[in-house]
Structure 1
């Protein structure tokens, strides 16, 4: 593995510094900083075009989704979400949809992470109110197996996701992240995302609170 120094510029109303501290500003703010990212030459990222990969992707999703949930999340609600939203059938549908792309990170021919990118206007009114540029892409899901955290797979997936959005001529990319998931927030900030607003996410009967984070594309 090797390291790469990257300069990040973000445009935000509320931003996370590389140390994880959140700063608020009454006016939109540009931030610029440099971060050292890990590059693993053994990790490859590609777009899944074979629906037969859906089973393996769903297995990764079932392992990783609970790790991103807040500690208070009911286990039965997590299990229901996995069964209803992260099933092999769901991923087969995403792989064949024109406005969706499933990216897979592989190491030694094994899928170790995935990212779902949706090219569509935000269906949530709270998101649409703060993500106004068009066209727009959503990073709907991005997870890496815990044994591979810190090895460059997340950076490779995010880089490919942003390239995918650019290829679709999107002006902006957005994602939602739980307000308690500080680790993910720090990573997204390092990748150039800033907090633009908030939204809610229903996990069973529990209402979770997310930040809406955005990154403008060149």
Structure 2
């Protein structure tokens, strides 16, 4: 598939996108992190976090913005989900926002899609009056940490992120 600026669009996902978003969410998570987990932990996580039902709830939530990168063929290749902060932050500010998920399929990395999604997510959070902003990022995902640092985020805490019985060490970044 060839990508040109004219061959892709980014739009707000709707509840009608629940099935393809579940597929894309599961595929991008597995592609990025699947090698870290025993198969049963990965399947347990995907069966709860990336189902059409879980995505339908998310896409129907007016306090959440989900934006999807779509090729003109209809294939979904990346997304960002933003909304109210759900991270375990002490003394969390009432209007705090969060970059909850930002994924692009690996074959489409280095096309600046992550930057375009991030800019759109930040713009949406600002339009909702969300500040300050937080992100949870895997402690060993150095590329993502550098990306978020370029946007002014810095580490303020840590927490455990469960994937099945495995618990990842996650950093909490704030801007």
TM-score, length of structure 1 as denominator length: 0.72
**1:208: how far off?**
0.9
| Residue range with higher mean Cα deviation, 150-159 or 63-72 | 63-72
Residue pair 2:34, 2:42 contacting (<8 A) in 1 also: no
Partners of 2:87 and 2:112 in 1: CA distance: 31
CA displacement, residues 150-183 of structure 1 (integer Å, 9 cap, x when unaligned): 1111111111110011001112111111111112
Could you tell me which of 158, 161, 164 is aligned with 1:201?
Answer: 161
Aligned pairs for 1:9-24 (under 5 A) are: none
Residue pair 1:68, 1:181 contacting (<8 A) in 2 also: no
Find the counterpart in structure 2 of residue 54 from structure 1.
18
| CA gap 1:208/1:70 in 2 versus in 1, 3 angstroms | farther
Runs of 4+ with deviation above 3 angstroms: 40-43
Residue pair 1:100, 1:119 contacting (<8 A) in 2 also: yes
* Count of aligned residue pairs for this structure pair: 170
**1:202: how far off?**
1.1
Q: CA RMSD in A?
A: 1.8
Find the counterpart in structure 1 of residue 65 from structure 2.
101
Could you tell me which of 31, 40, 61 is aligned with 1:67?
Answer: 31
| CA gap 1:116/1:80 in 2 versus in 1, 3 angstroms | same
Between structures 1 and 2, the one with greater strand share:
1
**1:71: how far off?**
4.1
Q: Which runs of 5+ in 1 are unaligned?
A: 1-39
Aligned pairs for 1:66-215 (under 5 A) are: 66-69=30-33, 71-108=35-72, 109-120=74-85, 122=86, 124=88, 127-129=89-91, 132-215=92-175
Between structures 1 and 2, the one with greater helix share:
2
Matched residue of 1:101: which SS? Answer: strand
Find the counterpart in structure 2 of residue 23 from structure 1.
none
RCO comparison, higher one (Cα < 8 Å, 6+):
1
**1:123: how far off?**
5.4
Partners of 1:172 and 1:70 in 2: CA distance: 31
Residue pair 2:153, 2:173 contacting (<8 A) in 1 also: yes
Residue pair 1:70, 1:181 contacting (<8 A) in 2 also: no
